[in-house]
């Protein structure tokens, strides 16, 4: 498996982190030290005193604000951490974990505590320097029609076998909805692996119900995944066209559709959402908007409007973040962008509903939040992935990849545990001309 993540040509010093330098050049080497590293150290040590963590130096001294009962973050190579943060900010923080510069017995718990401080990780006076300090999205990763397929392929075409190792039998890669509950803050979804597949089906069925999908419905799905939503819509008697930019996903989804005997009701095409044609009674899209990108939200929502028949409904599942944080970070290039999901942006509820109001004839008729259910979905994926390390290695992914993927799953779970992130099912309706 050949994956190379590189950014910039700044002179670096190498050190022994046991990492494949050809595959992971920014992990196998260190950026220069100097003033940036000194500033990073000062900021980190100041923040550490405000975190309910034990942050242990190699000599055992705790620089964190937590007592002996608090979760432990072990700094293995503090100097390397400060150099990485000095150059890359939170990108460097994640890269330091991948390099083994710091570790944690309970990574998710440590990251959850950081996430609770997300809006204040950088002191307010320095936040005013964001425009000159943060990394910007590479032009090659903007969500244009030319770039979108490459962005999608970098994640979803890694290997169907990899995703099979930690997803449930439905091969659903989005938040499940456990039980009949409303997903409120008071209701945490405490669930086990055996419940996950049923919870994924429950999530899909709820969205299809909300979008009015019944026998005879003409349905467009934007973002196929591995086919579960198409299968369940077709089983209701709907005719489904699903579009994706992932060749790997399309291949497995088509095989699943054929195995279910539903090929006469489901077509799956490699197609950008902007190029979709036709008129549909329902348009559904599950956690695809996050890949669209801020500049293209008007086009995306305008496309939903264009494709929907009068009286039809859109069912949209989307991860969301606080509106003020979305505005502050919308141009920031992050660790997630560099290593997991290139391009895109998590929207806020306000930005979704404002885009619908400004660029479509649709109206919002329902919103349903269940973010804590995503935290448990991610926990189950993370635990399953950790238990399958031998199989991951056999697929050709090395230890650095496993650390990267573990950090991604834990970081995402922490976002929902801390309630910094949420997930919603939105329903939009298109009025009839005579209404």
The total number of residues shown for the chain amounts to 435
CA dist., res. 399 & res. 320, Å (int): 31
CA dist., res. 251 & res. 325, Å (int): 37
* Alpha helical stretches, state H, 100-242: 107-115, 124-127, 130-133, 145-156, 160-166, 193-210, 228-235
At 355, phi and psi to the nearest 5?
A: -65, -40
What per-residue confidence (pLDDT) applies to 1?
A: 42
What per-residue confidence (pLDDT) applies to 434?
A: 67
What per-residue confidence (pLDDT) applies to 253?
A: 98
At 426, phi and psi to the nearest 5?
A: -100, 145
**pLDDT in single tens digits along all 435 residues of the chain:** 445 444 333 334 445 567 999 999 999 999 999 999 999 999 999 999 999 999 999 999 999 999 999 999 999 999 999 999 999 999 999 999 999 999 999 999 999 999 998 766 665 555 555 454 566 778 888 889 889 999 999 999 999 999 999 999 999 999 999 976 444 433 455 678 889 999 999 999 999 999 999 999 999 999 999 999 999 999 999 999 999 999 999 999 999 999 999 999 999 999 999 999 999 999 999 999 999 999 999 999 999 999 999 999 999 999 999 999 999 989 999 999 999 999 989 999 999 999 999 999 999 999 999 999 999 999 999 999 999 999 999 999 999 999 999 999 999 999 999 999 999 999 999 988 765
Question: Domain 140-430 in CATH: superfamily?
Answer: Vaccinia Virus protein VP39 (3.40.50.150)
Count CB neighbours of 128 within 10 A.
11
Q: Tokens in use for 412?
A: 């995402």
Angle at 379 between CA 342 and CA 223, to 5 degrees: 40
HEC readout, 264-290: CCEEEEECCHHHCCCCEEEEEEECCHH
What per-residue confidence (pLDDT) applies to 87?
A: 93
What per-residue confidence (pLDDT) applies to 179?
A: 78
Closest CA to 14 of 68, 80, 112: 80
Q: Is 373 in contact with 381 (CB distance < 8 Å)?
A: no
What per-residue confidence (pLDDT) applies to 385?
A: 98
Q: Indicate the pTM of the whole model.
A: 0.92
Domain ranges of the chain: 13-135, 140-430
CA dist., res. 88 & res. 82, Å (int): 10
Strand locations in 27-153 (E):
29-30, 54-56, 72-75, 102-104
């Amino acid at each position: 498996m050949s994956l190379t993540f590189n950014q910039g040509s700044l002179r670096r010093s190498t050190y022994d982190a046991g990492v494949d330098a050809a595959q992971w050049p920014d992990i196998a080497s260190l950026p220069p030290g100097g003033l940036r590293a000194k500033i990073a150290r000062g900021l980190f040590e100041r923040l550490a005193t405000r975190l309910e963590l034990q942050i242990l130096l190699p000599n055992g001294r705790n620089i964190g604000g937590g007592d002996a009962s608090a979760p432990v973050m072990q700094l293995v190579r503090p100097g390397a951490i400060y150099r990485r943060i000095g150059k890359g900010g939170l990108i460097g923080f994640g890269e330091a974990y991948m390099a083994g510069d710091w570790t944690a017995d309970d990574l998710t718990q440590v990251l959850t505590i950081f996430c609770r401080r997300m809006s204040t990780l950088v002191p307010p006076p320095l936040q005013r320097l964001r425009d000159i300090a943060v990394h910007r999205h590479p032009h090659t990763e903007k969500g244009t029609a030319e770039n979108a397929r490459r962005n999608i392929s970098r994640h979803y075409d890694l290997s169907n076998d990899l995703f099979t190792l930690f997803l449930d039998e439905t091969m659903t890669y989005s938040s499940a909805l456990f039980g009949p509950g409303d997903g409120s803050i008071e209701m945490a979804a405490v669930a086990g692996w055996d419940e996950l597949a049923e919870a994924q089906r429950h999530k899909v069925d709820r969205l299809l119900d909300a979008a009015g999908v019944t026998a005879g419905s003409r349905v467009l799905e934007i973002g196929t995944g591995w086919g579960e939503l198409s299968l369940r819509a077709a089983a209701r008697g709907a005719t489904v066209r699903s579009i994706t930019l992932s060749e790997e996903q399309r291949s497995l989804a088509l095989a699943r559709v054929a195995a279910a005997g539903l090929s006469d009701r489901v077509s799956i095409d490699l197609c950008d959402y902007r190029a979709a044609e036709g008129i549909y009674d329902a348009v559904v899209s599950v956690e695809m908007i996050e890949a669209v990108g801020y500049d293209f939200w008007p086009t995306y929502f305008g496309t939903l409007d264009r494709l929907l028949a009068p009286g039809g409904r859109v069912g949209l599942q989307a991860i969301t973040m606080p509106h003020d944080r979305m505005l502050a970070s919308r141009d920031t290039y992050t660790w997630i962008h560099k290593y997991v999901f290139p391009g895109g942006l998590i929207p806020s509820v306000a930005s979704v509903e404002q885009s619908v109001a400004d660029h479509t004839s649709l109206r919002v008729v329902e919103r349903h939040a269940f973010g804590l259910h995503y935290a448990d979905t991610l926990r189950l994926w993370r635990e399953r992935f950790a238990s399958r390390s031998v199989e991951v290695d056999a697929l050709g992914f090395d230890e650095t990849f496993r650390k990267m993927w573990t950090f991604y799953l834990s970081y995402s779970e922490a976002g929902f545990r801390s309630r910094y992130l949420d997930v919603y099912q939105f329903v939009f309706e298109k009025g009839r001309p005579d209404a």
